Amino acid sequence: MTAQDVRVRPPPPVPAWQDPAAGRRPEPPAATLPQPAVLPEPAARRPADPRGHWFMLAVGLLLVAAALTLDGYVTGVTGETHAAPPAADHPSAELARARRGGPVLNLTAGAPSSAHPAGRTIALTFDDGPDPAWTPRVLDVLKKHGAKATFFTVGSKVAQYPELARRIVAEGHELGNHTYTHADLASVPGWRLRLELSLTQKALAGATGLHTTLARPPYSSTPAAITVPQWEGMRSLAAEGYLVALTDLDTRDWARPGTDRIAASALPSRGRGAIVMMHDSGGDRRQTVEGLDRVLTELSGKGYRAVTVTGALGMPSAHRRADGMDRFAGTVLNAAQRAAAAFTGALSWVLFAAGALTLARLTFFAVLA
């Protein structure tokens, strides 16, 4: 047999009992598990725009600065003035004539003129208020004697105590302008003088609904004591439309010389009329209140009548009705000043507490060291 005669035959079939795969069921194809959906990556968040926060911070800082500035102006921390030192006295002819005249000066037109109160008439005046401690006591004494008076008010105090200004008006007394911060008008520039007068008028309008045509410069006294710088300040007052009210009798009660001396210096002689200067603020005014009661008791026995400055001159009241805009502006001013004072007071306590805690912490660690 040759190689060509050899045929390749297929292998014989394997019996089922010998085939290990026999009897098995075919396995189903593997199930295809669903794949999770691929979500797009979220876009990167942009940082919040900080401009709104900076705006709020800027507004807050401006309000703090405004509160501190207003309170500093009112309390004399900024823009403080004092009485000007005596200057060389070279009075003009008009000033020399005013020194010999009456205590109420009209410098608004033409040649200066002045006026005296009528005989047996006294015009009591009170400067530097209102004051929560002493103005009510002065008003009580005036009411006891049926007397009227004129109060030359400081505008910042009207803003702080508007209820006292309203009581003054309600009880028939008169209001005058004594500047907003008790500024010496002889030593301030023109813009400051106008600001002081305007703010006081707005404070009065906000508290009482009234303006006034009377003004008394701080640090003034009798006509004979007018200095050259004061005269220039009074002319500026007149340019703003004011009558300038000085005094005949200066009690100098601010120095607290004693009740007897205050009473004696407030009594006119030989039945003359007079404008009397006292103070209802600026310190302890117990002597003033006692002296006022004594003066009114004595003058009533001599037939005197106690009236306002304009009443003593036979003039219409110095009060003028403020318009709606001025009343609104005054209300805002008065509220802003009280808010500034409250904020400054609270800030002072916060700073005090922070300083005390810092000192306590340093002391604690120093003891432990």
Tens digit of each residue's pLDDT (9 = 90 or more) over 233-260: 999 999 999 999 999 999 999 999 999 9
Looking at residue 338, its pLDDT comes to 87
Residues in the chain with pLDDT values less than 70: 1-52, 57, 59-61, 64-88
CB burial of residue 295 (10 Å; 0-12, 13-18, 19+): buried
Residue 81: both structure tokens together: 């003035």
Looking at residue 331, its pLDDT comes to 97
Looking at residue 208, its pLDDT comes to 98
In the chain, where are the structural domains located?
99-331
Residue 335: both structure tokens together: 């509220």
| 127 phi/psi in degrees, rounded to 5 | -105, 160
3-state SS, one letter per residue, for 130-176: CCCCCHHHHHHHHHHHCCCEEEEECHHHHHHCHHHHHHHHHCCCEEE
Enter the DSSP assignment of 121. Answer: E
The CATH number assigned to the domain with range 99-331 reads 3.20.20.370
Residue 68: both structure tokens together: 């501190």
For tokens 């001025």, the residue is: 326
Catalytic residue among 127, 131, 248, 253: 127
Catalytic residue among 71, 279, 280, 326: 279
What one-character-per-residue DSSP string does 248-285 give?
SEE--GGG---HHHHHHHT--STT--EEEEEESSSS--
Looking at residue 259, its pLDDT comes to 97
127 is catalytic: yes
- Considering only CA atoms, give the Rg of the chain: 44
Q: What is the pLDDT of residues 352-367, one digit of tens each?
A: 788 888 888 788 778 8
Supply the angle between the helices 162-170 and 135-145 in degrees, to the nearest 10: 10
Looking at residue 362, its pLDDT comes to 80
Looking at residue 356, its pLDDT comes to 82
Question: 3-state class of 297 per DSSP?
Answer: helix
